[in-house]
Amino acid sequence: MATYIELRQLFGQGDLLNKIEVACVIAAEAVRTEDAGTTNHANRLIWAKRTFSSPRGVAEQMMMAILAANNALSVAQITGASDAALQTKVDAAVDLFADGS
């Protein structure tokens, strides 16, 4: 299990942040093409547009959610997560940030 200090140090971990940034862009594209009847679709579209215009800022926010959700893992497990695993976590957290603001 990563300590709080280790988790905080990961906030700026470049490779992990870059992977999360790409996962956010991929999630934004999925939102852009999802069915308009999807729950929270209008707010999800706002989030997707924000992601396309400022992917780094969105990724920095998403990074914190991903780290909090995976705090029981070791640093090596977190930084070694596969692209697919990160994508799943990002996809699952979109609605947390898709609040219309």
- pLDDT tens, per residue, the chain with 101 residues: 999 999 999 998 899 999 999 999 999 999 999 999 999 999 999 999 999 999 999 999 999 999 999 999 999 999 999 999 999 999 999 999 999 77
Determine the pLDDT at residue 65: 95
What SS3 class is residue 55?
helix
Cα separation, 44 vs 23, in Å, equals 15
Phi-psi region for residue 99, left (φ > 0), alpha (ψ -120 to 50) or beta? alpha
Determine the pLDDT at residue 100: 76
Determine the pLDDT at residue 36: 96
pTM of the model: 0.93
Determine the pLDDT at residue 77: 96
What is the distance of C-alpha 66 from the center of its chain? 6
DSSP code for 35: -
Cα separation, 44 vs 39, in Å, equals 9
